[in-house]
A and B are shown apart, each in its own frame.
Chain A
Amino acid sequence: MTKYLIKRILTAIFTLLIIATVTFFLLRAIPGGPFTREKALPDAIIRALNEKYNLDKPLFFQYLDYIKGLLTFNLGPSYRILGFTVNDIIRSGLPTSALIGGIASALIVIIGIPVGIISALKQNSPVDYFVMFLATLGVTVPNFIIATLIIYIFSTQLGWLPSNGISNPLGYIGPVIALMGYSLSFVSRLTRSSMLEVLRQDYVRTARANGISERKVIFKHALKNALIPVITYVGPMVAAILTGSFVVEKIFAVPGIGRYFVQGVTNRDYTVIMGMTVLYSAFYIFMILLVDLAYSWIDPRIRLDGGAR
């Protein structure tokens, strides 16, 4: 197990290096740069700026420089947000995004899975139709509409929730719900269909034929098998949600890091884009590792170290 983990962590570092490399060179291939403006800056200033940030050096030198920083967790200065390093940006925004995302992820699992189970057990009943109607809405309606509706109804009309900022704890409710919409719907649909599939399996019939109580048939025999596809989805989902959403954070004026993904790109702020990409990739790779560990715990057929039992 330890050997497996070490192997996976080394692979993860290697993967991150590849991602960083590809992103680095792709970014430089895009026309324009961090100091390109609609109204062009004087050549002398651009030259001075390029010199300050080593952008006048050969590309390969810049690359080595960046990787050296990356290996010491130094993501470099932002070229556009003056006085801030990418580390500062992450340090100030990530906790907020991760807190909102963490609450959302937890609620998605806590609500989505039971709702999916109930829907599967009451297949084709009014409860099932209602849940699936909501879930279809949740998957199809974009989060900015959900966010706008929440603000309109609960902030503007009813005045129950603040319409922006998170200085008041109630301010978390809107962003959390808007962030959950899609994934909650997806998880409950996935749990439902997976559960329906598993309940048709022969081993469920065997359990019933052996007089096992319906409760145990569902929660012991069916659920464990049904959760495998759900876990596959939830892992990467958590990585995406924890790293914030540009749209939701923008609408609710939440100081998270979601907006830097977009701003970084429009500004050609090389280091910010690199930093966000590496951060998201790291989260993602970590969640996939967790998913793989969960698989081996749930399903004995999956063996991590590849050895025979």
Chain B
Amino acid sequence: MKKKVLEVKGVKTSFFTHLGEVQAVRGIDFELNEGEILGIVGESGSGKSVTSLSIMNLVDHPGEIKEGQILFHEEDGNIVDFTSLSSRKMNEYRGNDVAMIFQDPMTSLNPVYSIQNQMIEVIQRHTDLNKQEAIERAKSLLEQVGIPDPEGQITDYPHQFSGGMRQRALIATAISCNPRLLIADEPTTALDVTIQAQILELLKKLQKEINMSIILITHDLGVIAEVSTHVIVMYGGMIMEKGTVHEIFYEPKHPYTIGLHQSIPQSAKKQKERLVPIEGSPPDLLDPPTGCPFSPRCPHAMEVCLEKAAPLFEVSDSQKVSCWLLHEDAPKPKEIFKGAK
């Protein structure tokens, strides 16, 4: 049996704004095992970024984790609930056991300090290395993430680095203390396509080298297909479907997942084929629908869908789908149950 790294149980995160409570994450459960790369995919406002910030316990005012547990399994089997830690205690885990990289490498490094300064600050924060040792460590990390001349470039300032190099430096900093879990929030969105591929390769390589688990947040199904072992599809602050990458790409069961697949342009496919957009727009999280959040846009919506959100129906050991169509009494539309009798 694989060792667990993270269990997220019933987490709800809301932002208390002037307009009212914005329910960004509305009760999600998942777990992550050692060595897995979990992709979380969803459109803007689906709650994927807030989920990642919640795991780091970094949700800023006026946001707040209202309910649920985030259980982190340490190397020695000790389990801590991040939601119950003080920020001082939590800081000992951040950057050390759990690290995070963000979407925009151009603005994620402090412009007024050198790369070296920012890296050794983190290394010295979590280890007992002295300054010289920390610098050596930082150089070898930069080498590991593919910065061509660490010796010469470590004293550079962020503005002297290109976007791809900055993301590499940020990754180097994030893995500096050999984290058990790395959360990458849209790590390639702000980069051009060739650099994107390099960064994804790098993440895959590092995952093996230091045996960490990765949670990869993205809106790009292509990125997920490239690197993930498991996938969670989020919509309206809830999990719609989760499974292995194979299940999500070849045997999707949720109408939303299927809709996502139909709306991706595929260069290999027949060019003449029209893309099928998902009609409508995402739910208003200030006043989320009582039932399934996707029901207003769902071509198969039934009465029950509008009244009550579906539980997670188990399709296989790994694949779970939150859709009433999976209920035994529900009709079985052909597009969804291709092989089914």
Given contacts A202-B104, A300-B157, contact A210 B110 (CB under 8 A): no
Bin the interface of chain B by size: 20 to 34
A259 surroundings in chain B (CB, below 8 A): none
- Once A and B bind, how many residue pairs between them come within 8 Å at the CB atom? 78
A202 surroundings in chain B (CB, below 8 A): 102, 104, 107-108
Q: Are A301 and B111 in contact (CB-based, < 8 A)?
A: yes
Q: Are B159 and A203 in contact (CB-based, < 8 A)?
A: no
A201 in the interface (beta carbon within 8 A): yes
A299 in the interface (beta carbon within 8 A): yes
Q: Are A206 and B159 in contact (CB-based, < 8 A)?
A: no
- Among A10-18, A35-43, A73-81, A211-219, the stretch that binds chain B is A211-219
Nearest B residue to A298 by beta-carbon distance? Answer: B112
A100 to chain B, nearest CB (A): 34
Q: Are B170 and A206 in contact (CB-based, < 8 A)?
A: yes
A309 in the interface (beta carbon within 8 A): yes
A209 in the interface (beta carbon within 8 A): yes
A41 to B170, CA, bound (A): 80
B122 in the interface (beta carbon within 8 A): yes
A207 in the interface (beta carbon within 8 A): yes
A203 to B115, CA, bound (A): 12
Nearest A residue to B123 by beta-carbon distance? Answer: A210
Given contacts A205-B102, A206-B102, A309-B160, contact A211 B170 (CB under 8 A): no
- Among B76-84, B85-93, B195-203, B284-292, the stretch that binds chain A is B85-93
A8 in the interface (beta carbon within 8 A): no
Nearest B residue to A222 by beta-carbon distance? Answer: B110
A213 to B124, CA, bound (A): 12
A309 surroundings in chain B (CB, below 8 A): 156, 160
Q: Are B58 and A208 in contact (CB-based, < 8 A)?
A: yes
Number of A residues near B (Cβ < 8 Å) is: 23
Nearest A residue to B103 by beta-carbon distance? Answer: A202
Q: Are A211 and B96 in contact (CB-based, < 8 A)?
A: yes
Nearest B residue to A210 by beta-carbon distance? Answer: B95
A43 to B183, CA, bound (A): 90
A210 surroundings in chain B (CB, below 8 A): 94-95, 99, 121-122, 125, 173-174
Nearest A residue to B160 by beta-carbon distance? Answer: A309
Chain A CB count within 10 A is highest, among B91, B92, B99, for B91
Q: Are B94 and A208 in contact (CB-based, < 8 A)?
A: yes
A309 to B153, CA, bound (A): 11
A220 surroundings in chain B (CB, below 8 A): 113, 121
B126 in the interface (beta carbon within 8 A): yes
Q: Are A209 and B107 in contact (CB-based, < 8 A)?
A: no
Nearest A residue to B90 by beta-carbon distance? Answer: A211
Q: Are A207 and B92 in contact (CB-based, < 8 A)?
A: no
B323 surroundings in chain A (CB, below 8 A): none
A159 to B174, CA, bound (A): 63
Q: Are A211 and B104 in contact (CB-based, < 8 A)?
A: no
A152 to B325, CA, bound (A): 82
A214 surroundings in chain B (CB, below 8 A): 87, 91
B56 in the interface (beta carbon within 8 A): yes
B26 to chain A, nearest CB (A): 24
A164 in the interface (beta carbon within 8 A): no
B100 in the interface (beta carbon within 8 A): yes
Q: Are B100 and A209 in contact (CB-based, < 8 A)?
A: yes
Q: Are B94 and A225 in contact (CB-based, < 8 A)?
A: no
Q: Are A211 and B157 in contact (CB-based, < 8 A)?
A: no
A206 to B108, CA, bound (A): 6
A301 surroundings in chain B (CB, below 8 A): 111, 157, 159
B278 in the interface (beta carbon within 8 A): no
B109 in the interface (beta carbon within 8 A): yes
Interface residues in B153-188 (C-beta closer than 8 Å to A) = 156-157, 159-160, 170, 173-174
Given contacts A202-B104, A209-B99, A212-B91, contact A225 B122 (CB under 8 A): no
A29 to B108, CA, bound (A): 57
Given contacts A209-B56, A209-B100, contact A300 B94 (CB under 8 A): no
B99 surroundings in chain A (CB, below 8 A): 209-210
A250 in the interface (beta carbon within 8 A): no
Given contacts A210-B173, A212-B122, A300-B157, contact A203 B94 (CB under 8 A): no
B107 surroundings in chain A (CB, below 8 A): 201-203
A205 surroundings in chain B (CB, below 8 A): 58, 102, 108
A28 in the interface (beta carbon within 8 A): no
Q: Are B159 and A300 in contact (CB-based, < 8 A)?
A: yes
A224 to B114, CA, bound (A): 13
Q: Are B111 and A300 in contact (CB-based, < 8 A)?
A: yes
A206 surroundings in chain B (CB, below 8 A): 102, 108-110, 170
Closest 3 CB pairs of A and B: A210-B95, A211-B95, A211-B94
Q: Residues of A at under 8 Å CB distance from B?
A: 201-203, 205-214, 216, 220-221, 224-225, 298-301, 309
Please name 5 further chain A to chain B contacts, defined as beta carbons within 8 Å, in addition to the given A211-B96, A213-B125, sorted by A numbering. A209-B100, A210-B95, A210-B125, A211-B92, A212-B121
15 sampled A-B residue pairs with Cβ under 8 A? A203-B107, A203-B111, A205-B102, A206-B110, A206-B170, A207-B110, A209-B58, A209-B94, A210-B95, A210-B174, A211-B91, A211-B95, A213-B91, A216-B121, A300-B112
